[in-house]
Amino acid sequence: MSVDVEDWFHDGGLAAPDPAAHRVERNTDALLELFAAAGARATFFVLGAVAERHPHLVRRIAAAGHEVASHGHDHRHLAQQLWREFRADVERARLVLEDVLGAPVRGYRAPYFAIRAGVRWPIEQVAEAGYGYDSSVLAIDRPPGLELVSPRAPYRHHNGLWEAPVAVLPLGPFWHLPAASGWGLRLLPPRLLRHGLRRFEREVGAGVFYLHPWELDVDAPTAPGPGRFLLRAGRARRFVSIREAFPSVATPAPVAAAAASGA
């Protein structure tokens, strides 16, 4: 299990409109409670910008027994950066996290899983910035996922850096998707998701799952853009009390009516 620790506005590349709009701490704390109840351990890929604003959250993650890794600093897409900017971003994030934790940070995951299979320079920068493994490369290159372009199991890059890819699940005979994710949990029928997971385990073994804290937050805003539907889908429902769901059931009978019945 892995978690990309970012706020709701990061996935749209936006800045928070005001400090009150920050929701990442409460959402991540909710995940920590769920994991504690399940006895689960995860790797939390934390944005450096989040660590700077919420250092105590990062320490709570580590104190709960989870691994803290880097998600870069500012959640900028790789395509928007020169190699020097990318190198500065990944180095800054590692230094911020290590300063908060007082311990080494070994793992890195690029925002948007933007490092492509076979593109060497980002992997070289990640290794030279002091990381021990990457978890950014998807085994499919583009939708609809008909072609696998890299291994689905962990492997070493040309420079020796380990890659721990997100599990790309087979859905049907030829179709592969990064459905081992919050996206998969929110959108796929449970039976189809379980089928894909079981087949992946038979063919590959253990795989990396991921989600975001904001996916548990039904009240969070959603960044505008063409992908808004996918960001919002599956978050519209919430669990409520019987009183909220059936107000008439929870409404007490009038006192006069109860007295007249002899109750």
Q: What pLDDT does residue 37 have?
A: 94
Average pLDDT over residues 143-165: 92
d(CA 2, CA 171): 22
Query: Residue 69 belongs to what H/E stretch?
Result: strand 67-70
Report all structural domains of the chain as residue ranges with CATH numbers, in order of start.
2-260 (3.20.20.370)
Q: What pLDDT does residue 230 have?
A: 63
Band of the pLDDT at 240, cuts 50, 70, 90?
very low
What are the tens digits of pLDDT across the range 174-183?
788 889 999 8
3-state class (DSSP) for residue 46: strand
- From the list 164, 102, 93, the residue with the least C-alpha distance to 130 is 93
Band of the pLDDT at 221, cuts 50, 70, 90?
confident
What are the tens digits of pLDDT across the range 15-55?
777 777 899 999 999 999 999 999 999 999 999 999 999 99
Q: Is the dihedral of CA 142, 145, 150, 152 positive or negative?
A: positive
